[in-house]
Amino acid sequence: MDKEFQFIKDLALVNDYPLRFIECQIKKTLNRYLEKSNMLNNSNNKQTKSVDNSSKGPQILIDLPYIGKQTNNLSKQIIGLAKVTRPGLHIQPISRPPRSVTSFFSGNDKTPKDYQSNVDEYFRLNVKKLIALAFVPLDQVITGFDLICDQFDDDADDLLDYVEKTWIGEKSRRGAGRKNPQFDHKLWNVYDRVVATIPRSNNSVEGWHNAFANRVALNHPNIVKLAEKIRREQSTFEVDVAKILQSHNIKTKKACYRKLDEHINRLVNGSDASQLDEFLKNMAANVTL
């Protein structure tokens, strides 16, 4: 009981619930479960009295809360152990979804919602850490990915498998090392670009294309009108170049994006390989989902 309900106890203590009260509630829950199980077993026994079971040994059903792949592995191990130690005993593990945490609290209690909110926020933070891998040095990408994997729950295996196969590289079945990912690290990692103060993407070029298309305002302009728009664009460009040469700042981004770039530059330039997990956490705070 202690292992299965330890998270309930911890949650109760954090929210100032008396420990004796929560243990009493857990005991009541287990008693209700045992009563239902006994009633079901008695009903099954009455129905099978007339059936000849001489060729079949006793049967035991084991209820296992399903928590992921580990549950399936445990079920196989239990069956294998029973065949070796008690050949005449039929063991059948039954995996079931774990009960919702809300079932242990009253309907007016906001603790389950707070608990679920914390779980969702923790998962969201770990996803942001995966994105933050784009800002770590190339030789630390795999180390950072392994750190993040250890912080995910088992229900994120599909997500991690996708990220590993597509962006990181699957582990090689023969010895150490990894296979080549679908997209090489150099294609999506921007650490060197941030250090060299080079734009991380071509968004500015796409922005210029959209702005110029809006200024032309025609899908198929004639050569005269197009030449006039290009001439004006060239004049504006030459003015901006002159301002840059005179040490004037050119407003090219919104203030929020300029501040974001400043935060990223400070984090990257001050990163420390010995504090990689802390760096990923801080960088994740600058990622928006």
Q: pLDDT per residue over 105-119, tens digit each?
A: 555 655 555 555 556
Structure tokens at 193: 């670009």
> What's the pLDDT score for residue 158?
87
Does 142 have pLDDT greater than 70?
yes
Residue pair 193/199 in contact by the 8 Å Cβ criterion: yes
Does 269 have pLDDT greater than 90?
yes
How far is Cα 94 from Cα 39, in angstroms, rounded to an integer? 18
Averaged pLDDT of the chain:
78
Which of the residue ranges 49-53, 99-103, 140-144, 203-207 would you say has the lowest mean pLDDT? 49-53
How far is Cα 263 from Cα 217, in angstroms, rounded to an integer? 37
Helix (H), strand (E), coil (C) string for the chain: CCCCCHHHHHHHHHCCCCHHHHHHHHHHHHHHHHHHHHHHHHHHHHHCCCCCCCCCCCEEEEEEECCCHHHHHHHHHHHHHHHHHCCCCEEEEEEECCCCHHHHCCCCCCHHHHHHHHHHHHHHHHHHHHHHHHHCCHHHHHHHHHHHHCCCCHHHHHHHHHHHHHHHCCECCCCCCECCCCCCHHHHCCHHHHHCCCCCCCHHHHHHHHHHHHHHCCCCCCHHHHHHHHHHHHHHHHHHHHHHHCCCCCCCCCHHHHHHHHHHHHHHHCCCHHHHHHHHHHHHCCCCC
How far is Cα 2 from Cα 214, in angstroms, rounded to an integer? 66
* Degrees to nearest 5, angle at CA 211 with 206 and 215: 145
> What's the pLDDT score for residue 1?
46
* Degrees to nearest 5, angle at CA 248 with 245 and 249: 120
- What's the pTM? 0.56
User: Any idea which residue has 């032309």 for tokens?
Assistant: 216
CB atoms inside a 10 Å sphere around CB 129: 22
pLDDT in tens, 209-252: 888 888 888 888 888 888 998 999 899 889 888 988 888 877 77
pLDDT in tens, 53-104: 444 556 677 766 666 666 777 777 778 777 877 777 777 776 665 555 555 5
Q: For residue 212, what are the contacts with CB-CB under 8 A and spacing of at least 6?
A: 229, 233
**Using 50, 70 and 90 to split pLDDT, how confident is the model at 278?**
very high
pLDDT in tens, 69-83: 667 777 777 787 778
Structure tokens at 10: 């911890």
Does 17 have pLDDT greater than 70?
no
How far is Cα 88 from Cα 85, in angstroms, rounded to an integer? 9
